[in-house]
Structure 1
Amino acid sequence: MVIRLKNASLRFLRDVVCRVSSQVLPAGYSEDVHPLIRRFCLARTGRHTNIKVDDKFSYQGAADLPRGNSDHDGEPSHDIHAMRKEFRKHGHKKRHGTKANNSVPRVSQKGCYHVKKLPGRAFQPYIFQIVLDTPRNVLRTVLDKWMEDGNHLERNEVLLVLFHLRKQLLYNKALQFMEWIERRKLLNFEERDYACHLDLIARNHGIEAAQKYIERVPKPFRNEVLYETLLVNCVCLTDIQKAEQVFKEIRDLFLPLTISVCNQMILLYKRVARNKVVDILMLMEKENIKPSPFTYRLLINLKGQSNDISGMELVLNMMKDNGVEPDFATQTMVAKFYISGGLTEKAEEVIRAMEVYIKDKRHAIRSLLDLYAVLGRPDDVARIWKLCTEPKLEDFLAAIEAWGKLGRIEQVEETFEALLKTSPKLTSKYYNAMLKVYAGNELLAKGKEFLERMCFSGCPNGPLTWDALVKLYVNSGELEKANSFLLNVTEENPDRNPLFGSYIILLKAYAEKGDVRNAEMIFDRLKKIRYPGRTPPYGFLLEAYVNAEVTPHGFRERMRADNVCPSKPVIEQLKRLDNLQKGAETIE
């Protein structure tokens, strides 16, 4: 009876999703740049055209966020999950049988590790600090010397190092550390160790290298966890061919087909081949695999992105009928789709119901501030903010962003000053939020003034700060200054690239002006950096030719050389430009 009900639910979901048409969605540290930023923010603001560039493009900066595996509250890959679980289990236990310190390093608010000098021996910092501070080209030598000095390494220390390296997106160094452990045979590798190693190989060297690594893994450990980790990386790169190949291997090897694997395929198809989502739902029905809350969230997101509000509501109701109550994240998603669909009353109804979470869930206030700001409700933003009697740093950040969306600059600045009183030594994250507000509201003078303040405060900056500065100049129409800044910051920081999105917003601005020469120049610089998993943005480049009414000779051949398949809009634009050229030749 249970199976019958489950299958009926899956058939219903399949029928709902069948109404979605196939749609291909487009596909991304040196700290001391204060003199460079000062040079740009002190430059006099000249006349500028009023060009507003929408920064909500489909590309995401590769350096901005760690590669996740979901659009909304995704499920982490097994290796990450195991690492976090093991760290929580052992991370704060005292170590035994080691010549190092007797406790796991404690992290201060500044991110520094407190270490103690042991009596009778030379000072030895914690292994994570050594890995973090050592250049990659000598890391193996330094670690070998550390072992020769009589130090020992335990599993909880390895997990700690990998946890923090991944958290800081230092995947290359994490892979070096993992390979050093394997070469020295310091650990008896277990399921999660092989999965973690495979994940790091995929991130650094690509899917094919990760597939070759599987051949080195002992057969007892070539299980669904290993293959799912590989699948997650394929989905992160939106590599549909490799993902389907891995999925087929899972089936051919008769490995257990888990709901997590099915969710990864739904996530992939939701992005690039929506008509194939129904195939996964049919397979789940056949294999009697029960949908998880994440499955429902993916389908709700799918329907919402397709602007099929009635279909979204059907999935939501089916979710409730099967005893799965929508959590706060799902309700937030539904509210946003109501807002984007112009259904303000329904959105307000959902948001009001979400206010019951304020007392129990700390993050509820942050989401509600954002939702009321998107709705354009300053009174409700003020009301929710007053309910936050003991705000944390992230609460201040949410309030700054909410007031910024409403264009209430005075409240934004008051909130930031209150934040400084709470925590005088802020990281660049909070300064960047202010820069984004000034950029979004085209307040170039205020943005420059704030940048100077940021520099004098000694706050470190990086790609996110550079991105905010680029947006500030672009949104104010000063494209040449944005271009010059990007060029200089790249030259002065050869070991750290600007965000992919920083180039995209500038490319889009030149494209809107029909400035083919500068658009080609930005496109060329973007290609040379080679952001992993990022497809060359030919669509934005073509827009420059369209707006300039210039035929892009050899454009199809260029795309073919980069293995980029033209989308339907690109094909139509190329045909239009071809016809334009033929018409000009006829007149001549």
Structure 2
Amino acid sequence: MRLPSRDGPFQENRHHQMRWRGRDGPSQKGHHHENKLPDTTFQPYLFQIVLDTPTSLLMAVLDTWVKAGNCLERSKVSMVLFHLRKQRLYSKALKFMDWIERRKLLDFEECDYASHLDLIARNHGFEAAQKYIERVPEPFRNEVLYETLLVNCVCQDDVQKAQQVFNEIKELSLPLTVSACNQMILLYKRVARGKVADILMLMEKENIKFSRFTYKLLIDLKGQSNDILGMESVLNTMKDNGLEPDFATQTMVAKFYISGGLTEKAEEVIRAMEVYVKDNREATRSLLDLYAILGRPDDVQRIWNSYTTPKLEDFLAAIEAWSKLGRIEQAEETFEALVKTSPKLTSKYFNAMLNVYAEHKLLSKGKEFIEWMFLEGCPSSPLTWDAIVKLYANSGELAKADSFLVNVTEENPDRHPLFRSYITLLSAYAKKGDIHNSEKIFDRLKQIRYPGRTPPYNLLLAAYASAKVTPYGFRERMKADNVRPTKTDIECLRRLDNLQITRLLE
């Protein structure tokens, strides 16, 4: 593999044949994907100050910034919060909002209270968010505020708290909107499908019209239940009410047809989408994905060749499509074209290629790619860390994945790895029956205290099951954390108890 330095020249590496060009290196002649895209990345100066300052020092540094004669404008606040959220720096975003509120630098509006509430819920959980609502002035204690809290509960799959907030909206005689109902449908679709009918009846009673998203949720519900006729019925009702399914919905329908073995029906949907291939990028990206799922590399290549000036997201869609087909070389070529097309890429685009190597357990290529990322000065993020953990874990290098998580946590006190990064590692340890390390990761998760996240007792139990060891006191541990065992958990515990009894009788 030939790796680029920052200035463009290549370094030789005799172990691999893949080659990455530097961002300033020579371009491929005659390739229609080489047109330079304008650099649209914009990070205002205030954001850079917030980003570079440790959270513990942020308020003092911002006070100094104001004393220096700088003016805090609403547009600057919006931009800072946008970028912090984009990078999942929720703790720092909350500290920034706390500073604005304490120093009374802005007259808070409806959206400001909702944003502040969301950050409190993300960082400190439901109870803290409820206390904040009590501090919000009465005129702003409206359905927008409560729906923001509802969304947080739904994101955490917390049925009890979501129902509590939903009922509060009704009890306070606040307007019951289709968006609030959609949130409850979204929640029940995941954890209590039988209760979706209750929300639909409530919507009918309150004369709340279905939105496009409502129909999309119901189509997804029917498809996941393998109820193809029901899915088609919802789709027809949607059209009868004057709402044409968007490309995301059409893609969903096609995928359910494919998973149900109804390839001809899927192809009919795909042909309808092909009409828009030259005019609509969303349709084109969907087609790349669908043809990859169908295992048709020629069609993926045909759709990709139809692009004249692909955008960054188009490159991502193509990389993911080639990955699904197992065509690593084509994915690499597409990424190489992406690097040369745009001079400045965020970690999001590097992560896409890193995830390809992780999914296909290509450890050597993945490690080499990580080295190249650092040479290019690519900033890392929790998503990057997640891809690296997945690369090591999928390749069986659990100790390296473990130590990497420990190191990035210690070196980045202002941000935590993603919850799913720990889940990836815990799942891998559980599969091996490694109880010691499974317990270690489980304890680490509990210490970090991801707001609203239930401790993954099911994965910890899986470790004991794989090792065929009875987990004494497991039910009591779950009860202490207010976690109710599922039917699967109960059955697993029963089997392990019986296994211990059998051993004692032998």
Q: What letter matches 2:312 in structure 1?
A: L
Query: Is the counterpart of residue 488 in structure 1 residue 407 in structure 2?
Result: yes
| 1:511 equivalenced with 2:424 (yes/no) | no
Moved more, 147-156 or 543-552: 147-156
Q: Does the aligned pair in 1 maintain the 2:478–2:485 contact within 8 Å?
A: yes
Is 1:586 matched with 2:505? yes
Distance 1:340 1:142, change over 3 A: same
Q: What's the offset of the Cα at 1:494?
A: 3.9
User: Corresponding residue for 2:115?
Assistant: 196
Answer yes or no: is the 8 Å Cα contact 2:91–2:414 preserved in 1: no
| Stretch of structure 1 that moved more, 490-499 or 203-212 | 490-499
User: Is 1:289 aligned to residue 208 of structure 2?
Assistant: yes
Query: SS state of the match for residue 357, structure 1?
Result: coil
Aligned CA-pair RMSD: 2.3
1:359 correspondence with 2:289: no
Q: Are the structure 2 counterparts of residues 465 and 162 from structure 1 closer, same or farther at C-alpha, using a change threshold of 3 Å?
A: closer
Match of 2:104 among 181, 185, 209: 185
Q: How many residues align?
A: 471
Q: Per-residue deviation at 1:552?
A: 1.0
Worse overlay, 352-361 or 375-384: 352-361
* d(CA) in 2 for partners of 1:218, 1:440: 49
Going from structure 1 to structure 2, the CA distance change for 1:461 and 1:220 (only over 3 Å counts) comes to closer
- Please say if 1:372 is aligned against 2:302: no
Helix, strand or coil for the counterpart of 2:242?
A: coil
- Compared with structure 1, are the counterparts of its residues 192 and 413 closer, same or farther at alpha carbon in structure 2 (3 Å cutoff)? closer
Q: CA deviation at 1:110?
A: 5.1
Shift in alpha-carbon separation, 1:453–1:130, aligned structure 2, 3 A: closer
Question: How far apart are the structure 2 equivalents of 1:516 and 1:358?
Answer: 51
**Structure 1 residue 223 and structure 2 residue 138: aligned?**
no
Specify whether residues 453 and 191 from structure 1 end up closer, same or farther in structure 2 by C-alpha distance, changes over 3 A only.
closer
Q: CA deviation at 1:570?
A: 0.8
- Which residue pairs with 1:136 in the alignment? 55
> CA 1:302–1:534 in 2, change beyond 3 Å: closer, same or farther?
same
Quote the offset at 1:328 in angstroms. 0.8
- Aligned twin of 1:547: 466
2:71 counterpart of 1:158: no
Q: 2:373 aligns with which of 454, 458, 464?
A: 454
**How far apart are 1:425 and its partner, in Å?**
4.1
Match of 1:408 in 2: 327
Identity among equivalent positions (%) equals: 76
Further displaced range: 224-233 or 187-196: 187-196
- Post-superposition offset of 1:502: 2.2
Cα shift at 1:450: 2.3
Instruction: Tell me the amino acid that sits aligned with residue 378 of structure 2.
Output: C
Quote how far apart the aligned CAs of 1:506 are. Answer: 2.2
Residue 244 of structure 2 is aligned to residue 320 of structure 1: no
Q: Is residue 124–residue 451 contact of structure 2 (8 Å, CA) maintained in 1?
A: no
Q: Secondary structure at the match of 2:181?
A: helix
CA distance in 1, matches of 2:411, 2:54: 18
Gaps of 5+ in 2: 1-12, 16-37
What's the counterpart of residue 346 of structure 1? 265
Please report the TM-score for the alignment, with normalisation by the length of structure 2. 0.87
1:431–1:178 distance in 2 versus 1, CA, 3 Å: closer
Between the aligned partners of 1:200 and 1:474, the Cα distance in structure 2 is: 31
Selected match of 1:332 from 248, 251, 273: 251
- Which AA in structure 2 matches 1:367? S
Letter in 1 for 2:204: E
Q: What letter matches 1:188 in structure 2?
A: D
Distance 1:261 1:355, change over 3 A: same
In 2, distance between residues paired with 1:316 and 1:537?
36
Note closer, same or farther for the CA distance 1:255–1:374 as it changes in structure 2 (3 Å cut): same
Change (3 A) 1:494 1:176: closer
Counterpart residue identity of residue 403, structure 2: S
Deviation at 1:424, TM superposition (A): 4.5
Structure with greater contact order relative to length (CA < 8 Å, sep ≥ 6)? 1
Aligned to 1:300: 219
Q: What TM-score results when the alignment is normalised by the length of structure 1? A: 0.75
| Structure 1: tracts of 5 or more residues without a match | 1-41, 45-106, 114-125
Task: Compute the displacement of 1:556 (Å).
Answer: 0.8
Hey, what's the Cα distance between the residues in 1 that align with 2:247 and 2:192?
28
Distance in 1, matches of 2:270 and 2:363, equals: 34
Residue identity matched to 1:349 = E
The residue number in structure 2 matching 1:176 is 95
Shift of 1:526: 2.5
Q: In structure 1, which of residues 557, 571, 576 is the aligned counterpart of residue 490 of structure 2?
A: 571
Deviation digits for residues 177-202 of structure 1 (CA, Å, limit 9, x no counterpart)? 33333333333333223222222222
1:233 matches 2:160 = no
Per-residue deviation, 1:380: 0.7
Deviations 1:459-517 (A, max 9, x none): 22233233222222222233333333333333444443332222222222222222222
Distance 1:108 1:560, change over 3 A: same
Work out whether 1:397 is the aligned partner of 2:316: yes
Q: Deviations over 1:541-586 (max 9, x none)?
A: 2112112211111111111111111111111111111111112222
The answer (yes or no) to whether the contact 2:438–2:463 under 8 Å persists in 1 is: yes
Determine the C-alpha separation between the residues in 2 that align with 1:529 and 1:138: 21
State the AA in 1 paired with 2:478. Answer: M
1:296 CA displacement: 0.6
The aligned residue for residue 73 of structure 1 is none
Q: How does 1:1-40 map to 2 (within 5 A)?
A: none
Distance 1:442 1:403 in 2: 15
1:278 and 1:437 mapped to 2: Cα distance? Answer: 40
